[in-house]
Chain A
Amino acid sequence: MSEHRDYAGGKLGMWIFLFTEILLFGGLFLLYAAYLHRYPADFNAGGKQLDVVLGAANTIILITSSFTVAASITALRLGQTARCLWLLAATVALALGFLVNKFFEWSAKIGHGIYPGSQHLLQMPPGENLFFGLYYAMTGLHGLHVLIGATLLSVTAALVRKGRVTQGNFGLLENAGLYWHLVDLVWIFLFPLFYLIA
C-alpha cells in the first residue's frame, strides 16, 4: 500500500472515537441522573462530605492544561517547536498534579472508611452508598483517562522532538489534544455533579 496520509480522515476518526468515549461515560451519567432523582437528599448529604477546595483545584488544573495543549498546537503550527514542547511538558505536569491531588482525596476518603463495600458505607442511607459508588466509578474511570491522555501526550511530545510530528504534519498532536480536551470536558460535568450538588 502506498504511504498516504489522510489528515481530514484521521481527524474524523478521532472525533468518532470521542463519541464512543462520551457514550461510555454517558451510561454512568444515566445512572447518576436516575439515582439523583430517587435520592436527592442522600446525594446532597454525600456531596457535603467531599472537599470543594480539592475539587475546584483539580478543575483549575484541568482547564489550564486544556489551554496549554491548545496553545501547543498553535506553537507547532507557527513553527515554534521549543515552545510547543515546553507547553506539552506543562500539560503532562498538570495531568500528574491532577492525579496526585486525586490520590490524596481518595486516600482521605478511604481513611474515613468510605470505600466500595465498606462497613461504614453499608450503615449509611442507601442513597449515600450509591453516591459514593458512583463517585468511585466515575472519578476512577476519569482518572484512568487522565493517565491514558498524559501517556498519549508524552508519546506525541517525543515524536515532536524527533521531528516526526512537525509544522507540516501536526495531525497526531491535534488528535492527542482532542482526546485531552475530552478528559477536561468530562471533568467539567463531574465537578458540579459531585462537589457542588450539596
Chain B
Amino acid sequence: MSHAQNESGSHPLSYRFLAAIWAALLTLTALTIFAARIDLGFFNVVAALGIASIKSSLVIFFFMHLKYENRTIKTMVLVAFVVLAICIGLTFFDVGFRR
C-alpha cells in the first residue's frame, strides 16, 4: 500500500519551504493593498488581478503540490482554466460590444 503512494515519487515539502511560501503570500497581500491605494485607473484592476494570479499560482504549484504532479494532472488543470477563460472571454464579444 505504501509503495503505491510513492508513485508520486516526491518527498514531503519541508516546513521551512512551506513557511517561505506563506511569507511570500503575506507579502503579496500587503503589496496588493498598497497598490490599490494608488490611483492607476483601469490598471488598478489589472494590478489587483495580476497579483491575485501570482498568489494563486504559488498556492496551486506549491501548497497544492501541482509542480510535483505528473503531466496528466498539469494538463487537466490548464484545460480547466482555459475553459473558464473562454467562457468569460467569449461572453465579452457580447457585453463589450452591446449598443
Is A23 interfacial (CB-CB < 8 Å)? Answer: yes
Q: Which residue of A lies closest to B10 (CB)?
A: A77
CA distance A168 to B5 in the complex (A): 8
Decide yes or no whether A7 CB sits under 8 A from chain B: yes
Majority secondary structure of chain A interface residues (helix, strand, loop or mixed): helix
Inter-subunit contact B95/A38 (CB<8 Å): yes
Q: Which residues of B contact A11 (CB under 8 A)?
A: 8, 69, 73
**Measured between C-beta atoms, what is the minimum distance from A60 to chain B in Å?**
7
Name A133-185 residues within 8 Å CB distance of B.
167-171, 174, 177-178, 181, 184-185
Partner among B25, B64, B92 whose Cβ is within 8 Å of the Cβ of A178: B64
The 8 A CB mask of B84-99 against A (1 = contact, 0 = none) is 1001100110011000
In B6-24, the 8 Å CB interface with A consists of 7-8, 12-15, 18-19, 21-22
A59 touching B29, Cβ below 8 Å = yes
Which of B7, B45, B63 is the most central at the interface, judged by chain A CB atoms within 10 Å of its CB?
Answer: B63
User: CA–CA, A30 to B44, complex, Å?
Assistant: 19
**Stretch from A93-101, A111-119, A121-129, A188-196 forming part of the interface with B:** A188-196
Q: Which residue of A lies closest to B94 (CB)?
A: A34
> Which of A5, A19, A33, A188 lies in contact with B52, CB distance below 8 A?
A188
Greatest chain B CB density within 10 A among A6, A23, A70 is at A70
Segment 17-37 of A: residues with Cβ below 8 Å from B: 19, 22-23, 26, 29-30, 33-34, 36-37
Quick one: which of B12, B13, B44, B76 contacts A197, CB cutoff 8 A?
Answer: B44
**Residues of chain B within 8 A of A168, CB atoms compared:** 1-2, 5
Q: Which 10 A-B pairs have the closest CB atoms?
A: A168-B2, A192-B48, A196-B36, A67-B22, A77-B12, A19-B80, A74-B12, A26-B84, A34-B95, A70-B63
Interface set of A (CB-CB < 8 Å, partner B): 5-8, 11-12, 15-16, 19, 22-23, 26, 29-30, 33-34, 36-38, 52, 56, 59-60, 63-64, 66-67, 70-71, 73-74, 77-78, 167-171, 174, 177-178, 181, 184-185, 188-189, 191-193, 196-198
